[in-house]
Structure 1
């Protein structure tokens, strides 16, 4: 009853008097008070009085300012809340978003990790280009083959040797990195963290998974580790499947419960639905293809004929150079996901005053450790350049 009396006193005459003021007239003062209050629910009395007096002038005494805010916050006066909080937030949105504190996610999309993703994509592309060129020269399109040694090696032969000699270490490191990021993303989705974390982690997983499967057929053929390579590939794909299933659910839950204020007020419209749709479409293609290939194999078993003799599907899955098609598919998948990742990061940075998040701009131990995936080919390159006298 006492609270109702206080609210009646605090809100008395507000519906008439508030229309004489424009709280959004000074966005700087509005931002200084509203951002900390919305983000941490902390009230700075000096900023509050400065904010209210910025549009009311000196005729707004401190007690009246407190009455107004008490009416808007504690008494949930709809008109007062709209006028003092929500309308200034809408009109001063750009100014508020520029000063909003946003930590980002350095473990997934820090500057070091973005460099790792880019270097991994470039190196994976160079590996596949080197081995596809050898496949073309030797006129065999069914299996990746080891390099045929030549008596006199040119500079480009040495470059190709660099990729052959470092393939096993690069692919193994890439697989471990992909598995680590996939597991981290599962924890992020399970804890229903911010929409930003879920989206960026999802795209990072897509980049690393595509990079891994781009080089997997080469690794299986060249290193002759079909069992271990295939088993780890199944593990990576299962983890990616779980991530795909949890991401949308976790993102929906993050939007409905406990959204980060910055995202709720500044960035929800920036979430790239097209990127998520593209990743899902790319995921479905190999999933459906694998199911059809398995069905073809079963039909062949049931009809007691070789799988490649099954009409249409047998020819489609067992007679075409699937290694080449797989390389083309995962190459496009990888660069599409990487482009979406960089685009989404630029979007969030542009909303946040045109810069990067403070925590994402510095290098951490985990980001430096992730660079180990490019060490083998870097070491080989230095040896090649040294031997060539460059």
Structure 2
């Protein structure tokens, strides 16, 4: 029978309620208050819904041909009967409301889920930082690849001598600031990886708390992205300046990257591996609303593309571990072992010598492609989220940490400017105490070795600094007379 609320109006039975996709907005607004918290902890979510939202929802339930149509007072009393416990929804009613909202309304519910985003990793300041890192590494690759070829006694046919001469000062600025830029990008990558590890560690330390699935995902994608500018710049570096320190920094990158990948596969992907694990997670660690977002609001094709790019990126990271092992071997005595290796390998060693240049150039180009694919896909993914969140996404807001992250790139701009204006010699001299003197080491005998860095057009006399037989501390043409053999 109908619920009698007053003498003039009786509410329809729940079996008579009107359920249509035309009321998606009202359904979504109403259910969002249930989905915004832990579903297992909500005692009476009716009381959390604003009066206007509740009345709009109840009005859609009244059949069009129901007479008389309810007044606002009637709707309020009708809703209050459910809120006070005098009436309750049947299972069929709940299934109808949830079914229409999730199956027919699609992304209509997305703006009502109060999706907060992740300003710490995908805020506007952080996105600018990612683009700065990507643009810098791309410019360095374009400018310094011809010089890398010159160091191997090769030249690029489309780079004329006139071009080399005209832009020599600009190229020198990039060459001399390369090591500092590589250090900065390595520190940036390590900080991104540590941030990702910290997020997953919190799950183990506090399993009863709620964590953002979006935050767990983008920490993996963006920390992986941050490694590729380092790969690109390293492919251009003639020498590992401060070799042991640089190798240790790369070791940290490799270790943290492995930890992040293991945690991502163990926790995040494992949640979706079975129905039981998903159910357990729904009731404990995660908000049910987050899964509704992932199911209805997130672009599955974009997520699949990011997953594929992540797998390709991880494969490329594994391949790049080989050069790290190569330099470790060189640091442990490669110069002593080289004659024996060269004699035993024979033609294979000569092939390796000639192929190494193109491996470095090709590796840098491949890393460029993966890096921009990562960044492009994530930019589109972030824009898609912002559109569906309709203003509730906090990624467009600035935070104190984002400003600090941007400031860390200022020294690179300063280095480039100083080397461009004052030249390499004065640029290096300005960084050193007055008791040290910077001298041109282009063709100067030091310790029995000829330390020679070719300029464009001097490819025939080039001595490469990445050979196992070379063990010099710096790839610069300019060194300190008093500190020429201090590597660390």
State the TM-score, normalized to the length of structure 2: 0.62
Partners of 1:293 and 1:161 lie apart in 2 by 27
Partners of 1:136 and 1:319 lie apart in 2 by 11
Q: CA RMSD of the aligned region, Å?
A: 3.9
**CA-to-partner distance for each residue in 1:299-325, whole Å, 9 max, x for gaps?**
xxxxx9727956998788665213223
Tell me if 1:157 matches 2:168. Answer: yes
Which has the larger Rg? 2
Q: Is the 8 A contact 2:313 2:370 kept in 1?
A: yes
Instruction: Report the equivalent of 1:301.
Output: none
Tell me if 1:332 matches 2:391. Answer: no
Instruction: Report the equivalent of 1:94.
Output: 107
Equivalent position to 1:176, from 178, 187, 201: 187
**CA-to-partner distance for each residue in 1:68-104, whole Å, 9 max, x for gaps?**
6789xx9784312112344234433433212331111
* Paired positions, count: 354
- 1:363 partner SS: coil
Equivalent position to 2:318, from 277, 287, 292: 287
**CA-to-partner distance for each residue in 1:1-55, whole Å, 9 max, x for gaps?**
xxxxxxxxxxxxx996424422654334333322122213543262324311233
Higher helix share: 1
**CA-to-partner distance for each residue in 1:234-272, whole Å, 9 max, x for gaps?**
210121121112113332366632444443223335251
Equivalent position to 2:395, from 360, 375, 378: 360
Partners of 2:262 and 2:14 lie apart in 1 by 53
Q: 1:210 to 1:385 in 2, by over 3 A?
A: closer
Partners of 2:200 and 2:308 lie apart in 1 by 18
Tell me if 1:44 matches 2:41. Answer: no
5+ long unaligned stretches in structure 1: 1-13, 142-149, 298-303
Tell me if 1:274 matches 2:305. Answer: yes
- 1:320 partner SS: helix
Q: Residues 101-180 of structure 1 correspond to what in structure 2 (within 5 A)?
A: 101-140=114-153, 156-180=167-191
Q: Is the 8 A contact 1:97 1:352 kept in 2?
A: yes
Comparing 162-171 and 107-116, the one that deviates more: 162-171
- 2:36 partner SS: helix
State the TM-score, normalized to the length of structure 1: 0.76
Partners of 1:279 and 1:204 lie apart in 2 by 10
Q: Is the 8 A contact 2:30 2:54 kept in 1?
A: yes
Tell me if 1:345 matches 2:357. Answer: no
Instruction: Report the equivalent of 1:369.
Output: 404
Instruction: Report the equivalent of 2:222.
Output: 204
5+ long unaligned stretches in structure 2: 1-10, 63-68, 155-160, 204-210, 273-277, 330-338, 424-488
